[in-house]
Amino acid sequence: MNGKGQSEQKSIKILGISGSLRAQSANSRILSALQHLLPPHVEYETYSKLSDLPHFNPDLDDSGLPVHGEVGQWRAHLAWANAIVICTPEYARGVPGSLKNALDWVVSSGEFVGKPTAAIGASPHPQGGSAALDSLVGTLGMMSAVIPEGAGLCIPFITKKFAADGTLNDAETEDTLRKLAAVLVETAG
């Protein structure tokens, strides 16, 4: 308890973003597990329309016209949140193109500036998607997001960590996610 009563607690709104478009995505499942580890007063939403965003084109971004459509929705989701968690696979030693495209759309609009952001890479490989995580952390740093100590995480051997129904079934990963959730909430609060 930090001395604040329930009524004085700052509203905490977390947006979860999976870098995978797959229906059975392990990264999306990690986000579901994380949601269940958040305190009850935290509002949590996910953004799952990365594939609806157009290819980033600075000409469109610099047109001076208000951005409508899915880009506007994407920015509105990010603006709603006061903390963000991104969980991504690694494709060819990098961040999936659809996630990078989405991030490119908000470099100049600034929704990440000063915002506590957790970055998770999850992969079946022993390195746990460390190259994608390093790349993501670099992009977030360039956008002036704040990655708190303990909120950058690689999860290796990801496919072995779920039960048949897709729920997380690994105590060590759950413990690590619980700590990450606590750090994110503490930083956002």
Chain residues binding ligand FMN by CB under 6 A are: 20, 22, 25-27, 89-93, 123-125, 129, 158
Residue (166 or 189) nearer to ligand FMN, CB: 166
CB of 136 to ligand FMN, least distance (A): 13
CB 46 within 8 A of CB 18: yes
Q: Angle at which helices 130-142 and 97-104 pack, to 10 degrees?
A: 10
CB of 97 to ligand FMN, least distance (A): 10
Question: How many angstroms separate the CA atoms of 172 and 79, rounded?
Answer: 32
What are the start-end ranges of the H helices in the chain? Answer: 26-36, 58-61, 69-80, 97-104, 130-142, 171-188
Residue (15 or 42) nearer to ligand FMN, CB: 15
CB of 32 to ligand FMN, least distance (A): 12
Cα 8 → chain centroid: 27
CB of 156 to ligand FMN, least distance (A): 8
Residue (124 or 148) nearer to ligand FMN, CB: 124
Residue (27 or 187) nearer to ligand FMN, CB: 27
Angle at 107 between CA 92 and CA 141, to 5 degrees: 70
